């Protein structure tokens, strides 16, 4: 049981490049979310999903896209990376309201 | 908008000292409350959670938290901290009917000195 798996763990992008952060869970969880963590700002919700085919915006969605074609996968796409997107990104999943399980994070630097 | 406030941004304690980290939220409806811990270089792990019933909740590693509805607070406590408790602590709130979204506080960095 791997839990929530995020890849890659580290990534450096040039401004304007695009990339996809991968997130997969093997717990058959309905709920999945993407957060970004910045110093002094805690975790802020980017996008979330309540099930396959259903996604919605969180607090800071601009510059990011998501899709949920399967229960297991919830990739986060950066369309045109900007230095302001330098952050640590966490994916999380939950079966119900009883708390999320977090992945180990992706540290992204945009230069 | 719902918000979660953690007023202590950095706390330094000696081993065996008692710990209390504050958490206040602004939402007036029914909420579920969580404390997460993030050890250096690691991901968030759930310490404890409150949904209903006894407002004093016990979690892992000797942590507990008390929900005081009248004060919109959910403070985290530990009677005697250890060096291994050095970490960042996050309070989070889930609003009932809010799509299972968590709103996090800005975190409290705890350093425990030997």
Tens digit of pLDDT at every position of chain A (111 positions): 679 999 999 999 999 999 999 999 999 999 999 999 998 888 999 999 999 999 999 999 999 999 999 999 999 999 999 999 999 999 999 987 677 899 999 999 999
Give the pLDDT confidence score for residue B41 in this predicted structure: 86
Query: How far, in Å, CA of B30 to CA of B111, rounded?
Result: 33
Q: How confident is the model at residue B27 (pLDDT cuts 50, 70, 90)?
A: confident
Which long-range CB contacts under 8 A does A6-12 form with residues at least 24 apart?
A6/A89, A6/A90, A6/A91, A6/A103, A6/A104, A6/A105, A6/A106, A7/A106, A8/A106, A9/A104, A9/A105, A9/A106, A9/A107, A10/A106, A10/A107, A10/A108, A11/A106, A11/A107, A11/A108, A11/A109, A12/A108, A12/A109, A12/A110, A12/A111
- Average pLDDT score, chain B: 92
Q: Which of A50, A59, A104 sits opposite B43 (nearest CB)?
A: A104
By the CB < 8 Å criterion, does A3 face chain B?
A: no
Q: Examine the pLDDT at B107 and tell me if it is beyond 90.
A: yes
Q: How far does A81 lie from chain B, in Å, by closest CA?
A: 24
| Set of chain B residues whose Cβ sits within 8 Å of the Cβ of A104 | 42-43
Average pLDDT over residues B43-66: 94
Give the pLDDT confidence score for residue B1 in this predicted structure: 60
| Set of chain B residues whose Cβ sits within 8 Å of the Cβ of A94 | 100
B101 with A50: Cβ contact below 8 A? no
Q: Is the pLDDT higher at B2 or at B81?
A: B81
B101 with A48: Cβ contact below 8 A? yes
B107 with A44: Cβ contact below 8 A? no
Q: How far does B14 lie from chain A, in Å, by closest CA?
A: 23
Which tokens sit at B107? 């975190």
Yes or no: say if B21 and B15 are a contact pair by the CB < 8 Å rule: no
Give the pLDDT confidence score for residue A97 in this predicted structure: 66
Q: What percent of chain B has pLDDT over 90?
A: 77
Which tokens sit at A59? 């607090």
Please identify which residue in the block is written with the tokens 């401004």: A15
Q: How far does A40 lie from chain B, in Å, by closest CA?
A: 6
Distance, C-alpha B96 to centroid of its chain: 19
| Set of chain B residues whose Cβ sits within 8 Å of the Cβ of A98 | 49, 51
């Amino acid at each position: 049981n791997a839990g929530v798996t995020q890849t890659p763990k580290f990534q450096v992008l040039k401004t304007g490049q695009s990339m996809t952060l991968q997130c997969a869970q093997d717990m058959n969880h309905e709920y999945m979310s993407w957060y970004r963590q910045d110093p002094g700002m805690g975790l802020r919700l980017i996008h979330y999903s309540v099930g396959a085919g259903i996604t919605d915006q969180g607090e800071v969605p601009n510059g990011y896209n998501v899709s949920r074609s399967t229960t297991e996968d919830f990739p986060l796409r950066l369309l045109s990376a900007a230095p302001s997107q330098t952050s640590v990104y966490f994916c999380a999943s939950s079966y119900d309201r009883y708390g999320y399980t977090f992945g180990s994070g992706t540290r992204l630097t945009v230069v | 908008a719902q918000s979660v406030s953690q007023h202590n941004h950095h706390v330094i304690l000696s081993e065996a000292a008692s710990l209390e980290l504050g958490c206040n939220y602004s939402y007036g409806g029914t909420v579920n409350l969580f404390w997460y811990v993030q050890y250096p270089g690691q991901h968030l792990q759930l310490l404890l959670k409150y949904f209903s019933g006894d407002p004093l909740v016990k979690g892992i590693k000797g942590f507990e938290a008390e929900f005081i509805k009248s004060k919109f607070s959910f403070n985290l406590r530990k009677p005697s901290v250890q060096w291994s408790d050095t970490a960042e602590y996050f309070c989070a709130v889930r609003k009932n009917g809010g799509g299972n979204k968590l709103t996090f506080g800005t975190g409290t960095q705890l350093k425990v000195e030997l």
